[in-house]
Structure 1
Amino acid sequence: FVFLLTTSISEQFGLQQEGMEKASAQLEEKDQVKNEYVLRVTHDIKGHLAAVQSCLDPVISGMVGPLNEKQKDMVGRAHRRTTKCMEFITALLKLTRMKLTGHLDRERFSLRKTLLSALALVQNRAQSKSIVLNYHIDPAIDMIDGEAVLIEETITNILLNAVKYTPAGGRVGIEAKQDGAFVQVRITDTGIGIPPADLTRIFEEFYRADNARAAERDGTGLGLAFAKQVVERHGGRIWAENNPTGGSTFTFTLPAGPSATGGR
């Protein structure tokens, strides 16, 4: 009896597992179809937006003749909204392509130079708000394997968010250090922080925390989802937490590799 009961339970578990595997395969197939559809649609929309921008640019620059103040205002609004739409579509296109292909153009590159380049890209925006940018990079950290362009874009996006959501006169800092077999990068700010209920969701596509929407109306909700995809496809992980004294810290890790530091 015990043997028959055990056999029956094993068979039931086997059937359940088979059913779950089939359901998982169907979900993956549907996700693939969805991503391919999004890729086609966003590519088409990007083409139309590019055409609109190419018409607005010469008007804004005065190439087609002078505009009165009301015309300048209306054309300026159209140009700004088109630019925002283009940024959104470009981000969605990059994210969808990455999810579909999973391909990385890996190469040896200097993480130190990448971090400094990202800092330089946000320097002017930080200065315009009198925000102090600090950084500390472990002297041992330099060459790692990965796709340099994607990692720099990830670091830049997180830094730009930190500056965007930090009040004038605040501080944003970045630290990179060795953490066993990984390199750890931490970006800390004295900004508005993240509501605890939103901490587990901010890396979802299109999701924005309530206080972020209140502080900044414009935003795609794709920057952190993109960062998560980049970091995880490199074999690392990313997370966020609030600081005890206010603001937030975003941390991600990347595999150091066999020759990631200058000493190896």
Structure 2
Amino acid sequence: MALNSSRSAFSSACKALGQCRSAPQTAARQLVVAPVRQFSTSTARPSEAEKKEAEEESTQPPRWTYTPERMKMPFSINVAKKPSRSVWQCNDKPEVLDAMYKRFLGAGGDKLLPEEIKWLAITHKSFDQGRRGFNTRLAYFGRQILALEATRSILVTPAESLPPVHITDKFGRQPFQHPALANVDKLNAKQPQDIVHKDKLTKLAREVGLSQVIRWKPRLPENLEGSGLTVVLNTAVYAIIGAISLQHGAEVAARVARERVLKRFEA
């Protein structure tokens, strides 16, 4: 009996000792960090679908020349009362467009913008129902640039060349005077909209031939002015300046606004 008890106690001690030895090994295995997977830095090869898509894009005509298939409707909801009003031809010759850019921006003006942007800047939202893109956002940006340059031209103009302005206060108060604020008072005599007037921009657009290349659809082909030709031409001039700013930066766009637009108004 005593011998059996001793044997059982000895076997229990051996089991406990074995568990104590295996425990550190298990913990050591848990602490081993799994090897980090190394990703290849080589360029992934394009799949067959990507190759096919790239080939289709290279064979397609330029984006400005066609309406995307997915944007076409099986029928038209714009039915003109007079069928003759639904027919309007716009310029589709790149050489005619480049000639306009040269007259507007000077020598090399046709190289300032990419081909797609050159067409986008002169495309009104009425053309092809806006499905080929239009110049509204470019025009908003360009208008702010032109207004800023017009304001700067007023601030640097000598006060003697501006019409005198006499502002009297009915309470006899004297405004605060400071050399740093002297130029700001010039805006009382002249405003930026006096320089960049819509009629002046329209005249400039006609002189450079913008009216011959603008892409739009007049509501009344027999009455272009009544269809908003002035607004369309002004929008295109603003859009060209905005596109130049996005393509080449604010400094180039400011120089174009001063030399190719504001300077012509002074002549």
Give TM-score scaled by structure 1 length.
0.22
- After TM superposition, the score normalised by the length of structure 2 is 0.22
Greater Rg, structure 1 or structure 2? 2
Query: 1 or 2, which has the higher helix percentage?
Result: 2
Higher relative contact order (CA 8 A, sep 6+): 2
Bigger strand share: 1
